[in-house]
Chain A
Amino acid sequence: MTIIDKTADVPAPRGAGDHEGPLLEVRDLHVEFHTREGVAQAVNGVNYTVSAGETLAVLGESGSGKSVTAQAIMGILDMPPGRIPKGEVLFRGRDLLTMSPEERRKIRGSKIAMIFQDALSSLNPVLTVGYQLGEMFRVHQGLSKKEAKVKAIELMDRVKIPAAAARVNDYPHQFSGGMRQRIMIAMALALEPDLIIADEPTTALDVTVQAQVMDLLAELQREYNMGLILITHDLGVVADVADKIAVMYAGRIVETAPVHELYQRPAHPYTRGLLDSIPRLDQKGQELYAIKGLPPNLLKIPSGCAFNPRCPKAQDVCRTDVPVLHPVTEQDGGELPGRGSACHFWKETIHG
């Protein structure tokens, strides 16, 4: 009943699959919200790519724009007050933002699926779990009620819900939090999408259940060779499953790196600060490092580098010039694939 295993080395980055180019490419995405107090600049030029079989973790504190970016990709942004003044979201090379709503809906249902943080509120409380799972097949594949139910049970089995056949007619509230999250995963998997976006999929769960759910997600992703975007504010959660990480701050990607390297050698002061402020499980530390101050108000993001009021390394140039995402290299100029840092002083940060 219990699996004990030695954690294997993190798998080597998986191949890009058989498509040319990345599955999803977000280019210079901007999102703003027009509110009574002013214009909140929630996303300010986000770039990232995900390939088939690859897991990208998007890491950032609350309000950094992780979910808004995901909503823009999915096409489920509240518009208004939201607006996308600029940017492209290329799915297999085609821009989702300029597609007809019809086309977009098709892709959203069957090619890109999303898992939300709060499974209880995303499931309909008055419909059985089996009905909700089956709906995917009835609507998208035209299956009969009976066929859809068989498929629903199969899916529940797939996400390891014990006694699936017996529980298919249960309602969401009859399941525990971990089970409900499995049902959400099952729903996302139903049409075997190419890409899954999971927004804080385990934040509401206990650690032992968190581990079960993350394991399941990683296993299914490997099996189906899906692209996976994993959004989180917890570095630990993604460490085992992600291939690469994008760190967000004030609506921008401030650092990108393969998972291992991000921990070993952060190239942005914000990432370094975050890493230093996490206490350790395996030893008792001294006083915690604390990043001073607060995340910025998106109605008035500081000029220059948005992190400058909190940054221990800030210089005059940081208050005037917005740092671009510089490619990060070894001290001798050797390439570090996949690494980037939006800091004027990335060299000092990683090599200093």
Chain B
Amino acid sequence: MAELTKDGEAVDPTPSAALDAPVGRGEPILQVRNLVKHFPLTQGILFKKQIGAVKAVDGISFDLYQGETLGIVGESGCGKSTVAKLLMMLETATSGEVFYKGQDITKLSGKALKAVRRNIQMVFQDPYTSLDPRMTVGDIIGEPFEIHPEVAPKGDRRKKVQELLDVVGLNPEYIHRYPHQFSGGQRQRIGIARGLALNPEIIICDEPVSALDVSVQAQVINLMEKLQDEFNLSYIFIAHDLSIVRHISDRVGVMYLGKMAEIGTDVQIYDHPTHPYTQALLSAVPVPDPAAREGRERIILTGDVPSPANPPSGCRFRTRCWKAEEKCSIEVPLLAVPAPFVGKDTPAAHESACHFAEEKDVVHVH
């Protein structure tokens, strides 16, 4: 199989220097700063009056480095997909910045925006509905070339699409087939091939394997890891399955009600979580191996996630937090390395938005 460069020509598949560079070093490729998305809540039919806002994303900051995978986890409705759409510029941010190689892309339009879009692609959750059933696989994967013809001149497209099919492990002869002729896992591969078409640097994956069966999930995850190494891709990997996120991610961010609760390396988050929400979330994960399960502490949260239209004051987690004190209802905890761990050489020293952050290992047997 041919190795593709950024310009799409086949080259000798020797690993580039960048591949060997340690992940998480150098300049971030993406810097997200205080990103906010409020969806207005309106009343009235003729004269729409705004009566409030769904605070889907409410001040989120993080970095993404070249070649790394940043996992984003959190419960349904916490704002993960909205973050993805903001980064893809499918939604307009209410406020905040997204710097791509130092340039704020939320302020771009026209040609400049189009140029950036090419480098940030997306793979969606649902392999059954995200592909147009009336288009052939060749048309679906080649569609991005219509918008960016500079990537593949007309005459080369068919070859390019077949190459992409090959890259994602599908038979290049399937180019004329329709989506319904493929299984869920194969459709997800088609979605990935399409995401790769423009040789992007960043791929945002929103629940890319959630709709797949366990055995097929593993095939797609392995493929994504292989492609990342091959093309030095950066992934933002959104999922609710915490085991899969650990497997694929270098760093992980935990979201709760539109805010980032905690962020760190996979070891920091899974083995040394300091935020009560992360601890509860991890402890609730059903673990199949009885040996790893027994003696494990389980924190069963009561109640549901509050409405993002009316989040609790202070710390948003306080209505479900067993450690909440008065301070939590008054002061919003900032995402920073908690005071007790500042300057300490411990995996607990990572950013966590809790007034009373403490380390608590909930995934290992004691």
* A163-203 near B? 1/0 per residue, CB < 8 Å: 00000000000001111000000000000000000000000
Interface size class on chain B is 35 or more
Whether A239 is near chain B, meaning CB under 8 Å from some CB there, is: yes
Contact A212 B300 (CB under 8 A): yes
CB contacts (< 8 Å) of B213 on chain A: these are 61-62, 233, 295
Residues of A within 8 A of B286 (CB): 207, 210-211, 214, 234, 236-240
Given the complex, which residues of A lie within 8 Å of B292, measured CB to CB?
280-282
> Shortest distance in angstroms between B94's beta carbon and chain A's nearest beta carbon?
26
Name the residue of chain A whose CB is nearest to the CB of B286: A236
From 102 to 138 in chain A, residues with beta carbon under 8 angstroms from any chain B beta carbon are: none
Contact of A281 among B76, B185, B242, B267 (CB under 8 A): B242
Kindly identify, within residues 246 to 264 of chain A, every residue whose CB is under 8 Å from any CB belonging to chain B.
Answer: 259-260, 263-264
- Residue A285 is within 8 A (CB to CB) of chain B in the complex: yes
Q: For the complex, is B299 an interface residue (Cβ under 8 Å from A)?
A: yes
B304 and A209 contacting across the interface, CB-CB below 8 Å = yes
* Contact present for A263 and B289 (CB under 8 Å): yes
Per-residue interface assignment for chain B, residues 307 to 339, with 1 indicating a CB less than 8 Å from any chain A CB and 0 otherwise: 000000000000011100000000000000000
A76 within 8 Å of B (CB atoms): no
Asked if B19 is at the interface (CB within 8 A of a chain A CB), the reply is no
A283 vs B295: C-alpha distance when bound (angstroms): 17
Partner of B219, one of A2, A10, A280, A290: A290
Give, as a whole number of angstroms, the nearest-CB distance from A79 to chain B.
27
Shortest Cβ distance from B270 into A: residue: A281
User: Is A99 on the interface with B (CB-CB < 8 A)?
Assistant: no
A290 partner, pick from B218, B293, B302, B305, beta carbons under 8 A: B218
Known contacts: A211-B300, A263-B288. The answer to whether A273 contacts B215 by CB under 8 A is: yes
Question: Can you name the residue of chain A whose Cβ is closest to the Cβ of B215?
Answer: A291
Residue of A nearest to B250 (CB): A284
In angstroms, Cα B289 to Cα A91, docked, is 33
Tell me whether B113 is interfacial, beta carbon within 8 Å. Answer: no
Q: Contact at B293–A233, with CB atoms within 8 Å?
A: no
Q: Check A1 for interface membership: any CB of B closer than 8 A.
A: yes
Q: Which B residue's beta carbon lies closest to that of A5?
A: B298
In the complex, chain A residues whose CB is within 8 Å of the CB of B305: 206
Interface bin, chain A: 35 or more
Q: At the interface, yes or no: B294 with Cβ under 8 Å from chain A?
A: yes
**B242→A4 contact, CB < 8 A:** no
Query: What residue of chain B has the Cβ atom nearest to residue A238's Cβ?
Result: B286
Q: Does B225 sit at the interface, judged by CB under 8 A?
A: yes
B246 contacts chain A at the CB level, 8 A cutoff: yes
Known: A207-B240, A212-B300. Is A277-B282 also a contact (CB below 8 A)?
Answer: no
Q: A1-B322, A263-B290, A284-B246 are in contact. Are A215 and B300 (CB under 8 A)?
A: yes
B215 engages A4 (CB within 8 Å)? no
CB contact under 8 A between A294 and B214, given known A239-B293, A260-B290, A281-B243: no
> Whole-angstrom distance between the alpha carbons of A334 and B68 in the complex?
51
A291 touches B290 (CB 8 A): no
A274 touches B322 (CB 8 A): no
Neighbouring B residues of A290 by C-beta, 8 Å: 215, 218-219, 222
A-B contact pairs, 28 of them (CB 8 A): A1-B302, A1-B322, A4-B298, A6-B295, A7-B293, A61-B213, A61-B215, A178-B304, A179-B304, A207-B281, A207-B284, A209-B304, A211-B284, A212-B301, A233-B214, A236-B285, A240-B293, A259-B290, A263-B288, A264-B291, A281-B246, A282-B270, A282-B365, A284-B246, A284-B266, A288-B247, A290-B218, A295-B213
Q: Knowing that A10-B294, A234-B286, A279-B247 are A-B contacts, what are 8 other residue pairs whose CB atoms are under 8 Å apart, sorted by A's residue number?
A: A176-B304, A233-B214, A237-B286, A239-B288, A274-B214, A279-B244, A281-B363, A295-B215
B positions within 8 Å CB-CB of A? 75-76, 183, 185-186, 213-219, 221-222, 225, 240, 242-244, 246-247, 266-267, 270-271, 280-282, 284-305, 320-322, 363-365
Q: Which residues of A contact B (CB under 8 A)?
A: 1-7, 9-10, 61-62, 162, 176-179, 206-212, 214-215, 233-240, 259-260, 263-264, 273-275, 277-282, 284-285, 287-292, 294-295
